[in-house]
């Protein structure tokens, strides 16, 4: 069932990502301003876009927080410090990631995670590409404590998605209509 949903939501995301992209370029910095003010040197965890995922890179000049990108190494997803424009190399999944010389970050060094998704439901269950990397990372209590939002077009928000026992619900989502928190954050 998840395979069929992935196919359907991947097509839906492809159809609607341009509208999301335009809004992110204009509004991402304003939406994330509470974190950039209260982050106290903590990193904003981004993602390197693949396929029809929204591209946050054009919005980076709006952000004043230090940045981090995920990297899969030794079979685990972790985050490394990243400076926009710095050289990247493929990680174990073939996705561009910071070089091993960049600082590996602990959960306490991140203020917020922005994660790609094919879909999310109103309970925070995310439908990703199927690797389970973010669920395994967020099963760790320290990483579960880092607020995490998925980034996707509003058309990809579903009432309910099938959940497996290992799925870790997200704290909300970011779409072209704004930020949607399941539980309002404290700054």
Per-residue confidence (pLDDT) for residue 40, from 0 to 100: 80
Q: How confident is the model at residue 55 (pLDDT cuts 50, 70, 90)?
A: very high
* CATH homologous superfamily for the domain 2-176: NagB/RpiA/CoA transferase-like (3.40.50.10420)
Please name the residues in contact with 166: beta carbons below 8 A apart, sequence gap of 6 or more. 132, 135, 136, 139
Strand residues in 5-156 grouped as ranges (E): 43-45, 67-73, 76-82, 88-90, 96-98, 104-105, 110-116, 119-121, 126-127, 148-151
Asked if residue 61 has pLDDT above 80, the reply is: no
Q: How confident is the model at residue 1 (pLDDT cuts 50, 70, 90)?
A: confident
Q: Are 124 and 182 in contact (CB under 8 A)?
A: yes
Burial 39-50, CB ≥16 within 10 A → b, else e: beebbbbbbbbe
Asked if residue 35 has pLDDT above 80, the reply is: no
In the predicted model, what is the mean pLDDT of residues 52-70? Answer: 87
The pair of three-digit structure tokens given for residue 108, joined into one six-digit string: 């306490």
pLDDT digits (tens, 9 = 90+) for 78-131: 999 999 889 999 999 999 999 999 999 999 999 999 999 999 999 999 999 999
What percent of the chain shows pLDDT beyond 70? Answer: 98
Per-residue confidence (pLDDT) for residue 157, from 0 to 100: 98
Please name the residues in contact with 14: beta carbons below 8 A apart, sequence gap of 6 or more. 51, 52
Q: How confident is the model at residue 53 (pLDDT cuts 50, 70, 90)?
A: very high
- Whole-prediction pTM: 0.95
Q: What is the mean pLDDT of the chain?
A: 93
Q: How confident is the model at residue 187 (pLDDT cuts 50, 70, 90)?
A: low
pLDDT digits (tens, 9 = 90+) for 148-180: 999 999 999 999 999 999 999 999 999 999 999
**How far apart (Å, rounded) are the C-alpha atoms in residues 169 and 80?**
23
Q: Are 102 and 96 in contact (CB under 8 A)?
A: no
Radius of gyration, CA atoms only, the chain: 15
């Amino acid at each position: 069932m998840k395979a069929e949903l992935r196919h359907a939501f991947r097509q839906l995301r492809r159809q609607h990502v341009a509208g999301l992209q335009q809004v992110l370029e204009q509004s991402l910095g304003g939406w994330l301003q509470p974190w950039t003010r209260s982050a106290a040197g903590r990193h904003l965890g981004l993602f390197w876009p693949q396929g029809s995922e929204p591209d946050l890179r054009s919005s980076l000049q709006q952000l004043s927080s230090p940045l981090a990108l995920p990297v899969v190494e030794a079979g685990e997803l972790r985050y490394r410090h990243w400076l926009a424009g710095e050289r990247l190399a493929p990680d174990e999944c073939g996705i561009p990631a910071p070089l091993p010389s960049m600082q590996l970050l602990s959960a306490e060094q991140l203020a917020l995670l922005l994660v790609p998704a094919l879909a999310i439901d109103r309970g925070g269950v995310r439908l990703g590409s199927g690797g389970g990397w973010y669920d395994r990372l967020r099963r760790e209590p320290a990483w579960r404590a880092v607020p995490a939002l998925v980034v996707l077009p509003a058309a990809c928000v579903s009432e309910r998605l099938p959940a497996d026992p290992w799925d870790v619900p997200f704290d909300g989502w970011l779409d072209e209509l704004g930020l949607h928190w399941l539980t309002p954050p404290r700054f």
